């Protein structure tokens, strides 16, 4: 009997999404599932060719996104056509782009089995998206234990685990006496330009205290982009590999984002630092109903809110301090670094690990394997 090749369409625009996609593809190959991959993803997926470069989608903020709308509409048309030709379509994160794409796909006479993996944060803002996704998606794969409760009963949603637990090298042990301090100013150009000038001053001051500053640069940045984006970085040693760079760090100054959750789960004491355009920050603050912006802080707050008996230190927040906007100044960052509560950090980090339980790649691969064996005709 001839084994049919499973045609998978993927829309993964974020760098972090592509790391998780890589983990999923690795498991699919181990299971010897015969499949092809089309759509948009980055160079991590070396055996497959993306229709567009993901760097074309990387913008920061509401204002920046508006400028690129005409280009997005043209790209969307191409992606819709490709998705219709596939058996499964997996959409990862990037809800502003992906939800309209799925809505158009849902209306098609011929459509694939639609899966949303790494769901939009309906628990934080735009809760109406939960009903939309429940209607237009065949399956929803949640990566946060609490988010399933925010979707209607008819939603075919399940918690598959958190994808970071597939990729983090947990053999690393934080060493508080290495004198190596990491600086991670983000993966978007606007983030880097907002934070790096402050990080440079902090690095210079720490150098006088016999500390070495390590600047961690996203892998997708080319070396020739360094001078244009980062300028003079002589205060820093450089690393293009996040996990290898963090291996011997005793502390990390990190831009808000997935990176703060990575450093926390790795057990590296972290200070979250974030600065955006004033209009973007004010808009986000008015729309998002959260007390924190760091993922580790958000996750633990939800955990304690739903199960307050689990830990008597329910109000002992945050696990990592957050320095935002006008407070992003060298002397404030240094003060937070000097007064960091290491005992609280390591204690809450273990709670977070237990809460997230396991990675997601294996569970997602099993679902795709089931589809290939039982639903694919």
Do the Cβ atoms of 38 and 86 come closer than 8 Å? yes
d(CA 136, CA 124): 21
pLDDT at 308: 44
CATH class assigned to 6-163+359-375: alpha beta
pLDDT for the residue 170: 60
Q: Which helix (H) or strand (E) holds 90?
A: strand 88-92
Q: What is the DSSP string of 157-223?
A: EEE---THHHH--TT----TTS-EEEEE--SSHHHHHHHHHHHHHHHHHHHTTT-EEEEE--TTS-G
DSSP state string for 114-141: EEEES---TTTS-TTHHHHHHHH-SEEE
Judge whether 6-163+359-375 and 180-356 match in fold.
yes
**DSSP code, position 224:** G
Question: Looking at residue 89, what is its pLDDT?
Answer: 97
**Amino acid 58: pLDDT:** 64
Which tokens is 18 given?
Answer: 């592509």
pLDDT value of position 359: 94
pLDDT tens per residue, range 118-134? 999 898 888 999 999 99
pLDDT score recorded for residue 74: 84
pTM: 0.81
Instruction: Give per-residue pLDDT as tens, 273-297.
Output: 999 877 777 777 766 777 888 889 9
| Long-range CB contact pairs, 275-282, < 8 A, 24+ | 275/194, 275/195, 275/198, 275/324, 275/325, 275/328, 276/60, 276/61, 276/190, 276/191, 276/194, 276/325, 277/61, 277/63, 277/190, 278/325, 279/62, 279/63, 280/60, 280/61, 280/62, 280/63, 281/324, 281/325
Task: Provide the residue ranges of all domains of the chain, joining segments of one domain with +.
Answer: 6-163+359-375, 180-356
Low pLDDT (below 50) residues in the chain: 1, 60, 308, 312
What is the model's pLDDT at position 1? 46
CATH class for the domain made up of 180-356: alpha beta
DSSP string across 262-307: HHHHHT--EEEEE---HHHHHHHHHH---S--SHHHHHHHHHHHH-
pLDDT of residue 64: 59
């Amino acid at each position: 009997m001839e084994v049919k090749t499973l045609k998978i369409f993927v829309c993964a625009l974020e760098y972090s999404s592509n790391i998780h996609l890589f983990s999923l593809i690795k498991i699919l190959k181990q299971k010897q599932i015969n499949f092809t991959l089309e759509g948009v993803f980055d160079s991590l997926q070396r055996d497959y060719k993306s229709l567009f470069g993901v760097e074309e989608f990387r913008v920061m903020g509401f204002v920046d996104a508006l400028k690129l709308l005409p280009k997005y509409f043209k790209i969307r048309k191409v992606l819709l056509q490709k998705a219709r030709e596939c058996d499964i379509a997996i959409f990862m994160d990037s809800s502003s782009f992906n939800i309209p794409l799925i809505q158009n796909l849902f209306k098609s006479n011929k459509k694939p089995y639609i899966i949303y993996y790494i769901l939009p944060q309906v628990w934080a803002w735009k809760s109406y998206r939960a009903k939309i996704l429940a209607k237009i998606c065949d399956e929803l794969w949640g990566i946060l234990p609490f988010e399933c409760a925010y979707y209607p009963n008819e939603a075919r949603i399940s918690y598959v685990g958190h994808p970071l637990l597939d990729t983090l090298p947990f053999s690393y042990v934080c060493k508080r006496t290495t004198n190596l301090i990491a600086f991670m100013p983000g993966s978007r150009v606007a983030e880097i330009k907002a934070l790096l000038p402050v990080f440079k001053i902090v690095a210079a001051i720490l150098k006088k205290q016999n500390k070495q500053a390590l600047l961690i640069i996203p892998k997708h940045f080319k070396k020739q982009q360094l001078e244009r984006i980062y300028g003079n970085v002589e205060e820093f040693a450089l690393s293009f590999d996040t996990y290898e760079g963090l291996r011997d760090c005793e502390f990390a100054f990190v831009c808000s984002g997935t990176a703060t959750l990575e450093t926390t789960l790795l057990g590296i004491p972290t200070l979250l630092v974030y600065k955006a355009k004033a209009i973007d920050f004010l808009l986000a603050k008015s729309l998002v109903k959260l007390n924190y912006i760091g993922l580790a802080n958000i996750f633990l707050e939800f955990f304690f809110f739903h199960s307050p008996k689990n830990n008597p230190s329910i109000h002992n927040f945050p696990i990592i301090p957050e320095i935002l906007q006008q407070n992003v100044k060298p002397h404030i960052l240094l003060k937070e670094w000097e007064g960091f509560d290491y005992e609280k950090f390591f204690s809450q980090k273990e709670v977070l690990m237990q809460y997230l339980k396991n990675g997601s790649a294996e569970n997602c691969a099993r679902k795709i394997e089931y589809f290939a064996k039982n639903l694919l005709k």
